[in-house]
Chain A
Amino acid sequence: AQSVAQPEDQVNVAEGNPLTVKCTYSVSGNPYLFWYVQYPNRGLQFLLKYITGDNLVKGSYGFEAEFNKSQTSFHLKKPSALVSDSALYFCAVPGPGTYKYIFGTGTRLKVLA
């Protein structure tokens, strides 16, 4: 069965420092992996996806994610965090049908000024 795990409930980082939000996956076949962000009182917004090709995927708002097949990980990264990046981040993988998504439990990112 497809699944993703986000091992950290919360990540704190100082503004200007690099940030990493972790995600590991378990899929059968080739993995399709997604990151979404949820700001307060809003729905989820798509950030980026990995389908195939380069292991480093670039997305919106300066975020990127590194696909690592040997470690079955797809960590979200940003070189320099902003206070406005504070939000809830979700890793996701399509389920048994390509139109169904399985989400991780979410990681709350707090960027401290």
Chain B
Amino acid sequence: ETGVTQTPRHLVMGMTNKKSLKCEQHLGHNAMYWYKQSAKKPLELMFVYNFKEQTENNSVPSRFSPECPNSSHLFLHLHTLQPEDSALYLCASSQFDLQGDTEPLHFGNGTRLTVT
């Protein structure tokens, strides 16, 4: 299997539930990202992990909790979400080059989250 795989593809959860989104990359990249895509809004960067260290938390509410146990796996733990959190959550990876070359992001197909 190649590329970036996200599970589940669809998730419906109530506001009191706890669930997790999973992302796995098979590209040997050293950086992983969570993005939120909502209708009629720009793509929002949520979290960045570089060499397994969280390097960015873009003012994301604490009801979203990321976890990066190794450079191939990334999780997004969800609890007590709000209906406005319904969106497509995209995971991406890239190879961060210490010499400064800028490599493109490789995205998974996303998890469509609906909060009821």
Contacts and interface: CB of A to CB of B under 8 A. Distances in A.
Interface of A: 32, 34, 36, 41-46, 49, 51, 90, 94-95, 97-106
A106 to B, nearest CB: 8
A44 B105 contact: yes
> Which 7 A-B pairs have CB atoms at the shortest separation, nearest pair first?
A43-B107, A46-B104, A103-B43, A44-B107, A99-B96, A32-B102, A43-B109
Contacts of B106: 46
6 contacts: A43-B108, A45-B107, A99-B55, A99-B94, A100-B45, A100-B56
A49 B101 CA distance: 12
B31 A99 contact: yes
Contacts of B69: none
A43 B4 contact: yes
Which size class do B's interface residues fall under? 20 to 34
Given A99-B94, A101-B45, A103-B42, A43 B102 contact: no
Given A44-B107, A100-B48, 6 more contacts: A43-B90, A90-B43, A99-B48, A100-B56, A104-B42, A106-B43
A32 B31 CA distance: 18
B50 interface: yes
Interface string B6-47: 100000000000000000000000010000000001110100
A41 B31 CA distance: 24
A42 B45 contact: no
Contacts of B31: 99
A47 to B, nearest CB: 9
B92 to A, nearest CB: 7
B52 to A, nearest CB: 13
A82 B48 CA distance: 36
